[in-house]
Structure 1
Amino acid sequence: MFTLAVLNQKGGVGKTATTMNLAGALAELGYRVVMIDLDPQGHLTEACGMPEATRPASLYDVLLSDAGAVTPEAVTALVVPWRDGIDLVPTTVEMFMIERQLYQHRGMEWRLQLVTERLAGLGVYDVCLIDCPPSLGALTDNALVASRRVLIPVQAEDSTFRALRLLLEQVASAQNDLRIEIEVLGMVVNLLDKRKGRIVTSALEELHKMPLAVLGEIRDLKEVREAWRESLPVVAYAPDSPSAAEFRQLAKALAGDADGGQE
């Protein structure tokens, strides 16, 4: 199973929209996708039309369980079907408290990896997308360990570059401290509107000069917002729109990595 963290500690860069719409485009290509909402704010859970509800199992409980209790059955109980070819592990309000709890456990950075290993062992999914919180704490470290691959949503604006530097420092720190290899696959530029002038176009030019690949440019068009409101990926809501084409292009850019990264 190819596992990818959609990660940027900077808020408002389109992490959740990227996760949901990339999942839709990958499913359209025939991949079986599971998404994990690791953000306690629950934007992905809400965007998929799954409001907070009492569930017999929660990601919070499983992440704090002993390794022996993280069974295939326990992980299967977390998964909720969303659309054909796409399932979701939703978040719950308890996740707001989990970082404090994780710091009291040994091996706190490896908790989510147990979950993704069990998901992979089910033999159901080709791709796992982790929608990460806007922070550089224990949950982000868990996403890095579980995925070992990162896609960074950004915006073409001046504040992007400092955030990128901090994020890449976090990735390097995780590699050194946890002795793992993490591959940053590249960036996707979201909410792109060149009509805003030179500030946007010059920032976009600088992003393309960076050693990180720009894997996609997603324009700030109404179809993505409308699809969000309807709890649909844009490839389903407006399949002939430019936005759908842009997410299909991003999915195809990652498809080769996904084919090579399946276990």
Structure 2
Amino acid sequence: MATPNPSGDREKVVSKLPGWLRRDLKVRAAQLGVDIQDAVSQGIAMWQTTSDVAPVDTAGGVAWSTWLPPGQWAELKETCTSRGMPLVQGLAQAISLWLNTHSAPAPTSYTRRIVVCNQKGGVGKTSLAAGLAGAYAEDPELEVLVAAEAVALQSADGAGLSSEATDLLTTDEAHAGLGLRVLLVDYDPQGHLTKQLGLDLIGIDDPSLAKHMAGTVRTGSIRDMIVTVEDSRFGGRLDILPACNDAFLLDVMIAMDRNRQATLERVLEPLEADYDVIIVDAPPSLGVGMDAGIYYARRRENETPGNSGVLIPVQPEDSSDDAFDLLRRQIESGQVDWRIEVDDLGLVVNLYDSRDGYVVTSSLEAWQQLKEPRVIGVVRRLKEQREAVRARQNLISYAPTSEQAKVIRRIAREIV
């Protein structure tokens, strides 16, 4: 399917691509500083003049879209017809050809660091962080249900995607659990994450994350504070660093540190060798504590683009839009001041319910129209998450077959 761009210089095309090929394209384009739509256009142009491209396994294709110069999509269709192959195969071959002719620099392996942030309260930041951690830690011996990409990106009434796109793949997929070692860091002084998972806050006089960041802990290790979530679904792979109420004073505690933006990294970096993923539930503020969270999410030397970064939950309402703008300014200011790159892992539109009316549905459409960061999931407002909080359990364990759990697993796989 092709839809003209109002400006006339590009047309939006929708097809299917295997998830692995889409991820390779996204990463390679970022590594080389090339826009994805330009990479695809270049690949199609090369493929048109090449006749010996190896077939590509397109099984498990998911809905995917990009923007191409007018007429290029039609030309691709014609060539596919003349070569006797499906359009999906031709597109996959073109992208593979571009990947094979554009080598990537050798990356350095780093633990994935995901900072879930938004200074606006009530956007579902904590539930998203906990859900992602559970999705990453699930037992690889389990078969789990993952929402199809099209389902993960639309509301219950299909808003935000065309009928052609949603028809491509709208059924759940069965996958093995990811089985990763995960550290979940409760960096929010309110401690909601710690409480949601059935743990106690650290005592106000005891060693804490904030005290370690401030350098006032003279004995013991940050490892002494880590607690394993006891749940057979996670098999000992999910740990949490609980919160302490002293984090309300964090900005004051680290304000005079010469490299205050690096204080969170100084504490967490020694733990990275023990984990595949570290997820930080950031504080709802724009203070120096958030600066430290942004700095921790930065792309390190030779790190694969998109391996780490910020994940931003938002709500489908106008005030969330204002809060997002403020957060983006803080991130952009930090990138300039510290000469770093912080990757956007995506937006998650949380607590969506189309029954709330036009403001909500139109806000969702506005979020989905953003190119960067793009929406990678829409989580509806359903009772299972509230019940999981009441039961003091991770949603992935409390309701593993719920719609929310399936969408969160899709989000996890979008950024893994």
When the two structures are superposed, what TM-score results if normalisation uses the length of structure 1?
0.90
Are residue 174 (structure 1) and residue 329 (structure 2) matched? no
Are residue 2 (structure 1) and residue 112 (structure 2) matched? yes
Q: Distance in 1 between matches of 2:384 and 2:253?
A: 39
Decide which moves more: 79-88 or 111-120: 79-88
The one of 43, 46, 54 equivalent to 2:195 is 46
- Tell me the equivalent position of 1:188: 348
Aligned ranges for residues 204-215 of structure 1 at < 5 Å? 204-211=364-371, 212-215=373-376
Given that 1:75 and 1:118 are in contact with CA atoms closer than 8 Å, whether structure 2 keeps it comes out as: no
The one of 59, 67, 85 equivalent to 2:209 is 59
Q: Distance in 2 between matches of 1:46 and 1:250?
A: 24
Given that 2:227 and 2:241 are in contact with CA atoms closer than 8 Å, whether structure 1 keeps it comes out as: yes
Aligned ranges for residues 7-156 of structure 1 at < 5 Å? 7-28=117-138, 29-54=178-203, 57-65=207-215, 74-83=221-230, 84-120=236-272, 123-148=273-298, 149-156=309-316
Shift of 1:56: 5.2
Q: Whose helix proportion is higher, 1 or 2? A: 1
Shift of 1:52: 2.5
Shift of 1:96: 1.3
Partner SS, residue 274 of structure 2: coil
- CA RMSD after TM alignment: 1.7
- Cα distance per residue 1:13-45 (max 9 Å; x no partner): 011000001111111221111011111111111
Partner SS, residue 413 of structure 2: helix
Partner SS, residue 334 of structure 2: helix
Given that 1:70 and 1:114 are in contact with CA atoms closer than 8 Å, whether structure 2 keeps it comes out as: no
Structure 2 gaps of 5+ residues are 1-110, 139-177, 231-235, 299-308
Structure 1 gaps of 5+ residues are 256-263
Given that 2:202 and 2:208 are in contact with CA atoms closer than 8 Å, whether structure 1 keeps it comes out as: no
- Cα distance per residue 1:149-175 (max 9 Å; x no partner): 100000011112211111111100010
Are residue 252 (structure 1) and residue 401 (structure 2) matched? no
Distance 1:44 1:225, change over 3 A: same
Distance 1:9 1:249, change over 3 A: same
Distance 1:173 1:96, change over 3 A: same
Partner SS, residue 311 of structure 2: strand
Higher relative contact order (CA 8 A, sep 6+): 1
Q: Distance in 1 between matches of 2:206 and 2:189?
A: 18
What is the identity, as a one-letter code, of the residue corresponding to 1:34? L
- Tell me the equivalent position of 2:381: 220
Larger radius of gyration: 2
Q: What is the percent sequence identity of the aligned residues?
A: 41
Partner SS, residue 407 of structure 2: helix
- Tell me the equivalent position of 1:260: none
Partner SS, residue 159 of structure 1: helix
Given that 1:34 and 1:129 are in contact with CA atoms closer than 8 Å, whether structure 2 keeps it comes out as: yes
Shift of 1:124: 2.0
When the two structures are superposed, what TM-score results if normalisation uses the length of structure 2?
0.58
Decide which moves more: 74-83 or 209-218: 74-83
Given that 1:70 and 1:115 are in contact with CA atoms closer than 8 Å, whether structure 2 keeps it comes out as: no
Q: Distance in 2 between matches of 1:101 and 1:56?
A: 15
What is the identity, as a one-letter code, of the residue corresponding to 2:361? T
- Cα distance per residue 1:80-123 (max 9 Å; x no partner): 11243111111112111121121122111101011221111xx3
Partner SS, residue 77 of structure 1: helix
Decide which moves more: 176-185 or 54-63: 54-63
Partner SS, residue 185 of structure 2: strand
What is the identity, as a one-letter code, of the residue corresponding to 2:260? M
Given that 1:154 and 1:160 are in contact with CA atoms closer than 8 Å, whether structure 2 keeps it comes out as: yes
Shift of 1:51: 2.0
Q: Distance in 2 between matches of 1:165 and 1:119?
A: 32
Distance 1:134 1:56, change over 3 A: closer
Shift of 1:65: 1.1
Q: Distance in 1 between matches of 2:359 and 2:254?
A: 41
Shift of 1:53: 4.1
Shift of 1:57: 2.9
Shift of 1:70: 9.2
What is the identity, as a one-letter code, of the residue corresponding to 2:353? D
- Tell me the equivalent position of 2:7: none
Given that 2:196 and 2:394 are in contact with CA atoms closer than 8 Å, whether structure 1 keeps it comes out as: no
